[in-house]
Amino acid sequence: MLSQGFVSAAAIAASVLFILSLGGLSNQEKAKRAVWYGIAGMAVAVLFTALGPGIGAHWLMLPLIAIGAAIGWVVAKRVAMTEMPQLVAALHSFVGLAAVFVAWNADLERRRVLAARALDATHQEFSAFAALVATKAPDELTFLQLEVIFAIFIGAVTFTGSVIAFGKLAGKVDGKARQLPGGHLLNAGAAVVCLVLAIAYLNGAGFWTLLALAALAFFIGYHLIMGIGGADMPVVVSMLNSYSGWAAAAIGFTLSNDLLIVTGALVGSSGAILSYIMCKAMNRNFVSVILGGFGGSQGPAAEIEGEQVAIDAGGVASALNDADSVIIVPGYGMAVAQAQNAVSELTRKLRSAGKEVRFGIHPVAGRLPGHMNVLLAEAKVPYDIVLEMDEINDDFATTDVVIVIGSNDIVNPAAQEDPNSPIAGMPVLKVWEAKQVFVCKRGQGTGYSGIENPLFFKENTRMFYGDAKASIESLLPQID
């Protein structure tokens, strides 16, 4: 058994590793090393926490850790890059549910200590946590109760919200914004009742108040995320990431665990900052995101005129051979089709022919920031030709050919032209300004938001139907 001082030193070391991990993820070239920092930090955290003072039942703990690690390994190996957003949402749900269970247990232990004090049972054996509670003064116990309330509320909202986010991202739940009659008033009413229950709990009400509080928070999480449309789910995942961090921090205060406090604060603050950045990128109000008050349509959508005109591989290849400048806009469809290597080879051939080739990346392409950048980096696409939306958006008007591969909502002109569109105001890549646009798409279906894209009907747009990987590979032999 290690001393508390040694465990505290290990917690500081783990915290430094976590900070290095977050810092390294800002650069593609350093990202792999940053992930290893995170892995090492978590290994240190788990090992030294398990060996810390007052921790027992290792015969039960070690098999559970091994089972959990094995499950995590298997799941991670099976999950494709395209499924990473829903995996992240699922992992957030685990953090939220764990916070609820730990908070419930903390209150039960608090009640046990108070009962023992009432009976003057000074020789009663306590768990490590109960022994900690037994040293607290009355005012400190009040703070403990506040921590329990916060952990249960945030944890429960995170759990059900993350489950619904997972369902929407995985296509198991309808991506459209749906709410029960009463809409946000139901959420507000449930929140008010939660406040009443919290006050009752602080004034000595029974454990049932915490059960009811959790039930209402479960509902709020479910109803908040159900009321958010599919096009805004990337921001939701980031927001839930922040929630899970604050839930973990609350549990850290409850357990007097410095590492949980630091780690939870890191996750909570970084998730909140990322949510804010994504809200700016999508022209969404940050407060509205937190309250689940966005994502639905705002009126009847504008009528779309024209028809979708198809083109074959020969036509696309001919246009590419004649072009001097090409911009490729990848999206979720490219990831699903695993077409990044074919795209990389097409890029190499076009550049070898003396053409300027660049990539335009939307901040939330692929449903999570950096998704497309990672795929393209794995396929050996040079970093210097992969540009963010703000860096390349003004160049579409002087570009000969744009190839859109599996993108829909992030190139939808309705965001700028239709104030009633569910994505109205969202910054998009202005691909329609190019001389020619070729959209590589599997079929005529709508995008993730469930709305039609006027781009597909414009005169300078041609639809290159088929599997993205097969379609791009069919172009390669025809590029001079």
CA distance 153 to 96: 9
Q: Tell me the chain's radius of gyration from C-alpha atoms.
A: 26
Residue type, 17: L
Is 409 a residue of the active site?
yes
Catalytic residue among 258, 312, 390, 409: 409
Rounded alpha-carbon distances, angstroms, from residue 23 to 15, 33, 318, 328:
12, 11, 45, 29
**275 neighbors 288 (Cβ within 8 angstroms):** no
Residue type, 413: P
**390 neighbors 199 (Cβ within 8 angstroms):** no
Q: Three-state SS across the chain?
A: CCCHHHHHHHHHHHHHHHHHHHHHCCCHHHHHHHHHHHHHHHHHHHHHHHCCCCCCCHHHHHHHHHHHHHHHHHHHHHCCHHHHHHHHHHHHHHHHHHHHHHHHHHHHHHHHHHHHHHCCCCCCCCCHHHHHHHCCCHHHHHHHHHHHHHHHHHHHHHHHHHHHHHHHHCCCCCCCCCCCCCCHHHHHHHHHHHHHHHHHHHCCCCCHHHHHHHHHHHHHHHHHHHCCCHHHHHHHHHHHHHHHHHHHHHHHHHHCCHHHHHHHHHHHHHHHHHHHHHHHHCCCCHHHHHCCCCCCCCCCCCCCCCCCCECCHHHHHHHHHHCCEEEEEECHHHHHHCCHHHHHHHHHHHHHCCCEEEEEECCCHHHCCCHHHHHHHHCCCCHHHEEEHHHHHHHHHHCCEEEEECCCHHHCCHHHHCCCCCCCCCCCCCHHHCCEEEEEECCCCCCCCCCCCHHHHCCCEEEEECCHHHHHHHHHHHCC
**229 neighbors 451 (Cβ within 8 angstroms):** no
Rounded alpha-carbon distances, angstroms, from residue 75 to 63, 68, 71, 80:
18, 11, 6, 10
- Active-site residues, by number, are 409
